Amino acid sequence: MYVFENLLKIKEEKGAGYIVLVDPDRKNDGIIDELVAAVHESGADAILVGGSLFMDGKYHERAAKIKELSSLPVILFPGAVNQLGPHYDAILFMSVISGRNPNYLIGEQVIAAPIVKDLGLESIATAYLLFDGGGNSTVEFMSSTRPLPLNRTDLAVAHGLAAKYLGMKLLYLEAGSGAKRTVPNEIITAMKREVDLPLFVGGGIRSPDVAREKVEAGAGFIVTGTAVEDVKNFHLLAEIAQAVHGE
């Protein structure tokens, strides 16, 4: 329980946490050293590692490199069972509860569970809710699930409550990689008020102002990924971290 308890402590002390998602895909092969260094220098609180696709055979090699370079918690954000490995401090053990594809509700989880146990990974039960960010996300395509509409706060809250009553430890509200629209503040506020589980919020957050806006709406943790997958944008890491932490 060390990683999850540490995240909760960060949220309590700083008001919110900032987490950077690093995809060990070949497109990031040449910048992983720089990216991990930039994450540490920025004041971010943890690293998520994951992606929806393997585009070559070096995923695990790059994941191991991220873990070797990082003194921050490294948490697997799994897209499939084949991403499991010993290179993480914990795993977001997720169920895509916004969809109705049984494979991503429970199928992959059953296959993964014995491996997670064998690896000794800390498991953080996570309800994943995909929202329609307008970007035709890879998650939507790969999971064959329809995203939740942005104008139905009641529907989002119902899913959040179901997650709570099923015993999930946190909610991950995601607009998808490359999202054109973020998860609405109204939904974040309603989730915080009605469900009261720690909220990860990601997708389409590309500026410090938007990150701060989501924190003030009720997000406990802000996640950014594609916004900083370019060395030219590494300065954004520190700016977003400061905004999230209210500095």
Residue 236 has pLDDT above 80, yes or no: yes
Task: Report the CATH superfamily, name and number, of domain 2-244.
Answer: FMN-linked oxidoreductases (3.20.20.390)
Residue 134's pLDDT band (cuts 50, 70, 90) = confident
What local confidence, expressed as pLDDT, does residue 140 receive?
Answer: 67
Position 56 scores a pLDDT of: 86
Q: What percent of the chain has pLDDT over 90?
A: 78
Q: Which range among 93-107, 117-131, 223-237 shows the weakest confidence by mean pLDDT?
A: 223-237
Which of the pair, 215 or 135, is modelled with greater confidence?
Answer: 215
Backbone torsions φ then ψ of 206, nearest 5 degrees: -125, 5
Pairing of strands 17-22, 122-130: unpaired
Pure H helices in 72-126: 102, 108-119
Beta strand pairing status for 122-130 and 170-174?
A: parallel
Does pLDDT of 44 surpass 90? yes
For the stretch 51-87, pLDDT in tens is: 877 788 899 999 999 999 999 999 999 988 999 999 9
Instruction: Say what percent of the chain tops pLDDT 70.
Output: 94
Is a pLDDT exceeding 90 seen at residue 131? yes
Q: Is the pLDDT of residue 182 over 70?
A: yes
Neighbours of 162 (CB within 10 A): 13
Backbone angles phi, psi at 60, to 5 degrees: -70, -30
Mean pLDDT of the 137-152 span? 79
Distances (CA, A) of 44 to 41, 196, 235: 8, 24, 12
Structure tokens at 60: 């695990």
Question: What local confidence, expressed as pLDDT, does residue 230 receive?
Answer: 65
Q: What's the mean per-residue pLDDT of the chain?
A: 92
pLDDT (0 to 100) of residue 180:
85
CA atoms within 13 A on the CB side of 139: 32
pLDDT in tens, 205-220: 999 999 999 999 999 9
- For range 151-163, the mean pLDDT: 98
